[in-house]
Amino acid sequence: MIKDEKELCNLFEKYLKHRESLPPLKEEDPSQDWSHLTEEEKENRKKADEEKSAADNAKKEEEKKASDDAYAALDDLGKANADWNKKVDEMHVECNNRLKISRLSKQQKFDLFQTVRFSFMKHEDLISLTANKEFEMAKDFILEGLSFKLNHFENAIKGELKINTEPRVNYNPSAIPQKAAPTQNPAEQAAANPYLKKTNFENYYERKLHEEKVSHNQFAAKLIGNQMGHHIQDMMQT
């Protein structure tokens, strides 16, 4: 039962550190990185890989031919037993592969980080995660969590979020922030406030004057509306 996303991140950090202590995956093997090689070196490695692959395929073909000859020499009962033993061996291999503990692939880490509700974490906890080596692949998710929190004060979200912004069922209702309003179109922002700029510091005084003018106009309209309302009420009572 998850009530705090920070606890989940702490659990993931321990889990990832344990997995990182295991032998590297094939995709993480430095010998598979050819970016630092010259074209000649790449050609030589490619040729060596092709020769090794051809030798392995030839060996497998020989083993398969010998296995097929031995199978053909069996009677019906022997073939049935051989078929059953083959299925059992395949099942054992699959079970061993599933039970084998190995490092997480990039996609597995990506799927793991997607389960965290970053938008419901505290601001300081999100900032600390940006410096956490184990959460390096989750930086985009962390930034989206920060943008979601800032969206309550300004339009910080510019596109569709990848993170899950729905609260968990075990959250304390008082701890759930209100949903951010949809991002306003830049053209609509400019029409509503002609002094709005890219940063919060350009034309500061002009923008403040504009906001004060709008506030005064709204207050004046409210007063006029109240006066008209009282006048209509007086007419209805007479």
Kindly report, residue by residue over 21-47, the tens digit of the pLDDT.
Answer: 888 887 777 777 777 888 888 898 889
* 192 membership: H or E segment, kind and range: helix 186-192
The pLDDT, as a whole number, for residue 58 is 93
Which amino acid type is present at position 140?
D
Angle, in degrees to the nearest 10, between helices 139-150 and 123-130 = 150
Angle at 159 between CA 184 and CA 192, to 5 degrees: 10
Q: With 50 as the cut, is the pLDDT of residue 93 above it?
A: yes
Torsion angle of the four alpha carbons 11, 16, 17, 18, in this order, in degrees rounded to the nearest 10: 90
The pLDDT, as a whole number, for residue 71 is 92
The pLDDT, as a whole number, for residue 226 is 63
The pLDDT, as a whole number, for residue 57 is 93
Q: Chain-centre distance of CA 113, in angstroms? A: 6
Angle at 114 between CA 179 and CA 8, to 5 degrees: 85
Q: Is residue 141 classed as helix, strand or coil in its secondary structure?
A: helix
The pLDDT, as a whole number, for residue 202 is 45
Q: With 70 as the cut, is the pLDDT of residue 203 above it?
A: no
Q: What number of other Cβ atoms are within 10 A of residue 16's Cβ?
A: 20
The pLDDT, as a whole number, for residue 32 is 75
Average pLDDT over residues 134-159: 78
Q: CB–CB of 149/125 below 8 Å? A: no
The pLDDT, as a whole number, for residue 20 is 83
Q: Chain-centre distance of CA 123, in angstroms? A: 18
Res. 56 pLDDT band, cuts 50 70 90 = very high
Q: With 60 as the cut, is the pLDDT of residue 135 above it?
A: yes
Res. 214 pLDDT band, cuts 50 70 90 = confident
Going by C-alpha positions, the residue among 20, 5, 21 that lies closest to residue 109 is: 20
Structure tokens at 123: 């601001």
Q: Is residue 170 classed as helix, strand or coil in its secondary structure?
A: coil
pTM of this structure: 0.49
Q: With 60 as the cut, is the pLDDT of residue 72 above it?
A: yes
Q: With 80 as the cut, is the pLDDT of residue 207 above it?
A: no
Q: With 60 as the cut, is the pLDDT of residue 187 above it?
A: no
Phi then psi dihedrals of residue 234, to 5 deg: -65, -40
Mean pLDDT of the chain: 78
